[in-house]
Amino acid sequence: MKPWSHKQSALVRALITILAGALAAFVGTFAHRMGADMNIPYGLALAFTLIILSTWCARARLGAIGLALHLIASSMTAWGLALTTTSSNALIVGGFQGDMPYFTQHAGYIWLYGLVLVQVVMLMLPARWFTIPATRKAHNS
């Protein structure tokens, strides 16, 4: 039994993959700075966990093409949010000077570049890691 999204036509699976990539990057962009001011980057850990899970699903659903669609959608979303904000209301902040915790200064850059790097690394992993095994229904005797 495959998940609902895996049973759809190729076009619907592609749309699901694109939307999932954009949504994962959108949520991750809002989450990535949690804890950065205390130098405990639990927001980055949550954001990357979300991207990893979403990327795994994309590759399981459509293979390398799905991962590519996911990478494009998530990158466009995260970088779009980073580039369309003004300095007074930025969602992704980077380039601080002065005496601040490391993750306060660098969480934005780690998120933007790590988002791409994680997905490229997942593209190089063996395809068998992204398969959903077929299960048989239990028959009652």
Which CA distances in Å does 51 have to 9, 25, 26, 27? 24, 7, 10, 10
Q: What is the pLDDT of residues 43-53, one digit of tens each?
A: 999 999 999 99
Residue 95's contacts (CB-CB under 8 Å, 6 or more residues apart) are: 105
Mean per-residue pLDDT of the chain: 86
Mean pLDDT throughout 89-116? 76
Domain ranges of the chain: 15-85+103-126
Q: What is the pLDDT of residues 17-74, one digit of tens each?
A: 999 999 999 999 989 888 888 888 899 999 999 999 999 999 999 999 999 999 999 9
